[in-house]
Amino acid sequence: QKEVEQDPGPLSVPEGAIVSLNCTYSNSAFQYFMWYRQYSRKGPELLMYTYSSGNKEDGRFTAQVDKSSKYISLFIRDSQPSDSATYLCAITNTGNQFYFGTGTSLTVIP
């Protein structure tokens, strides 16, 4: 079983829509949950970082962790064409080894 599962999409939404991206993970010991954004031909950049359960909000982005169901989500409000990218979830326990999802490709149509 993979450590992290992520629906690869692709996901296509109109500008202004709310986007929901999700991952599930298998090991309840994981404590740190990240979302990365990767534009085409570029390295990933950290978008959101949460520890344990709960929500974290940063502008139009909200990261949510539900440890009871081992489910993590990233919500994007008022999506913009510039949000078009691949979004990868990642988990770690120690901060030294990261497990990545396969990434979800998002296209926001103007």
Sites of contact with other proteins (CB under 8 A): 6, 8, 36, 41-46, 49, 88, 95-98, 100-103
* CB 108, min distance to other proteins, A: 19
Structure tokens at 47: 């978008």
Query: For other proteins, which is the closer residue by CB, 40 or 69?
Result: 40
* CB 98, min distance to other proteins, A: 7
Query: For other proteins, which is the closer residue by CB, 7 or 17?
Result: 7
CA 48 to chain centre: 8
Query: For other proteins, which is the closer residue by CB, 75 or 100?
Result: 100
* CB 15, min distance to other proteins, A: 25
